[in-house]
Amino acid sequence: MKKTVIRTEKGFLSPSPLSQAVKAGGFIFISGQVPVDSKTRQVVSEDFAVQTRFVLDSLKGIVEAAGASLAQIVKTTVFLTDMSRFEEMNQIYREYFPEEPPARTCIGVKELPRKSQIEIEAVALG
């Protein structure tokens, strides 16, 4: 089985030892995306909605770089540092997945890298 590493400027380029995404076995496995600017290494905004859109735009850029689209995402995992933001996240999430959204798990966590409020990982058909 062939493994292809996906790397694009359209998603967070982490200095950590990980790939943005790996395409293998008909799937695209996208690492957790945080709302951090790759150049400054800073969170893009303290505003939750801005962070959420940044993360979803990163997922979109990565999945498209792998030759797929958001519609081909079959599973996401959302990590929130404040579960009271769940409905706000859902409203924004619906903009990106208006029909037949992927399976999803949402987990409340104590903290995320660089004091991010949200992180999303995904698996897509590829």
Active-site positions?
Answer: 106
Contact yes or no for 66/124 (Cβ under 8 A) = yes
Q: How far apart are CA 109 and CA 121, in angstroms?
A: 14
CA distance 58 to 32: 10
List CB contacts of 71: < 8 A, sequence separation 6 or more. Answer: 100
Question: 99: how many CB neighbours lie within 10 A of its CB?
Answer: 6
Cα 92–Cα 96–Cα 98 angle in degrees, nearest 5:
100
Q: Which tokens in the block code for residue 15?
A: 């200095």
